[in-house]
Structure 1
């Protein structure tokens, strides 16, 4: 009997450990290549998600779609009303229950940029949150490129910097090639200040990244909140089972 209770207790403890690993798994899976600054975003920060959504729809949705998301789902998950979403996010005129399109015609995007801007629904799962966060911060002026912009995270990217008015205009310094070592990026230099400080713009990049992590797996919001209660229940049940065992066997010598 004692052995069975102890085995049950061990199994419950094991379940708790596994549950904690599963809750942390999306964040671990979303981390990206080494050498990138951590995004440090949090899906539990509803204010960050709301601000990220506002920034996304004002600066990104003109070119990029979110074909796996619906406006109604965004409103429900981000605790926004239908009027708030339709007035502030929906610039394409589609219905509340429809998927999020790009305002730009894909054919125009291909003609102007050389390729149609990709859908960003799963970008956080494909590239990682650190990649997105650093990418948004790493545009620099490059007169050799067709649109005058380049990016150190994604060299020769065909898109301009949509956030340049906030971040400002920066140039990049590269160390020259030496022997077998190719030229490599060293640092950014601010050429013209934007409307935000560096710290404020970091928050902008973090909030957009947070929103895109949400769109990549909307169920993560509810799974995380439910998972916490499950772990609390398992912890409480384990303690009760332990004290029950202690009480049941206290007179057995």
Structure 2
């Protein structure tokens, strides 16, 4: 329980800091249907293991749980089991916490519950992650050489830059509406510096799959829970009608 609480607090700190820094940014809508698409979840799991699990852990998710999204144990062993040789192990990383703090300024938070934490915080959950992972840009003033439109001055480098390519963000100076003597920087758009291995459409689709997996990982039984909930409501509605008629039949002769 202490580990889960620590993970939630770390994820909460990440997303609340991002909200404070990214304030007025309008989040892009995550395609929610991906969460129930097994092919999308499988691709998202592959991206997560290859690009996220190098620094971030998912300490409350076991590799063998991926069988719930249609993967066989052999597929997991052959394609996704990089940090360990046991399919029953949790998704952990070998990155030393001291090294991580020295390199990035903070230990990368565990990602098992990050989508769920953001959703419980302000409801943006998947929309925030979907926007965040698509708004990195080159910034030579930052220690990592990267910055992010959704989370300004983020310590995380752009782990997926080879897929998206390198981009620069264009800003223009505008007068502050509350104080005309002050100038603020307003985002105008991105400029592609070098191409990635994916087209913009392919990259957006890949990020949608990755976010779908992260949302599923936060609550693997979400779809099952919702189906059971609908079934329970239907049962209660039918039982209410039966109980109402039984009550009427029982009391009909009582004056």
Cα distance change of structure 1 residues 169 and 220 upon mapping to structure 2, 3 Å threshold: same
Q: Structure with the greater relative contact order (CA < 8 A, sep ≥ 6): 1 or 2?
A: 1
Partners of 1:47 and 1:227 in 2: how far apart?
25
Pick from 36, 39, 44 the counterpart of residue 44 of structure 1: 36
Deviation at 1:113, TM superposition (A): 1.5
Instruction: Output the aligned Cα RMSD.
Output: 2.7
* Aligned twin of 2:144: 147
Aligned residues: 217
* Aligned twin of 1:29: none
Partners of 1:149 and 1:51 in 2: how far apart?
25
Pick from 152, 156, 160 the counterpart of residue 159 of structure 1: 156
TM superposition score normalised by structure 1: 0.76
Q: How does 1:14-163 map to 2 (within 5 A)?
A: 35-42=26-33, 43-75=35-67, 77-127=68-118, 128-163=125-160
Pick from 207, 217, 227 the counterpart of residue 209 of structure 2: 207
Farther-moved stretch of structure 1 (216-225 vs 197-206): 216-225
2:77–2:85 CA contact under 8 A, matched in 1: no
Q: Which structure has greater strand proportion?
A: 2
Deviation at 1:81, TM superposition (A): 1.2
Q: How does 1:1-20 map to 2 (within 5 A)?
A: none
Partners of 1:121 and 1:46 in 2: how far apart?
19
Where do 5+ consecutive residues of structure 1 fail to align? 1-31, 249-253
Partners of 2:144 and 2:217 in 1: how far apart?
29
Where do 5+ consecutive residues of structure 2 fail to align? 1-18, 119-124, 176-180, 250-255
